[in-house]
Chain A
Amino acid sequence: DGGITQSPKYLFRKEGQNVTLSCEQNLNHDAMYWYRQDPGQGLRLIYYSQIVNDFQKGDIAEGYSVSREKKESFPLTVTSAQKNPTAFYLCASSITPQGRYNSPLHFGNGTRLTVT
Chain B
Amino acid sequence: AQKITQTQPGMFVQEKEAVTLDCTYDTSDPSYGLFWYKQPSSGEMIFLIYQGSYDQQNATEGRYSLNFQKARKSANLVISASQLGDSAMYFCAMREARSSHGSSNTGKLIFGQGTTLQVKP
Q: B68 near A: Cβ within 8 Å?
A: no
**Given known A42-B113, A109-B42, contact A101–B91 (CB-CB < 8 A):** no
B112 engages A104 (CB within 8 Å): no
Chain A residue numbers with a CB within 8 Å of B107 are 101
Range of interface residues on A (Cβ < 8 Å) = 20 to 34
- For residue B79, give the distance in angstroms from its CB to the closest CB of chain A: 18
B44 engages A97 (CB within 8 Å): no
Report the interface size for chain B: residues with CB under 8 A from the other chain. Answer: 29
Chain B residue numbers with a CB within 8 Å of A104 are 35, 47, 50
Q: B121 near A: Cβ within 8 Å?
A: no
Interface string of B79-121 (1 = CB under 8 A from A): 0000000000001000111000000111111111110100000
Interface string of A38-55 (1 = CB under 8 A from B): 001111110010100000
CA distance A45 to B108 in the complex (A): 8
List 9 A-B pairs, Cβ < 8 Å: A43-B45, A44-B111, A58-B108, A90-B43, A101-B32, A101-B97, A101-B106, A102-B50, A112-B43
Which 4 pairs show the lowest CB-CB distances between chains A and B? A97-B106, A107-B45, A43-B111, A42-B111
Mark A residues whose CB is within 8 Å of B: 33, 35, 40-45, 48, 50, 58, 88, 90, 92, 94, 97-102, 104-107, 109-110, 112
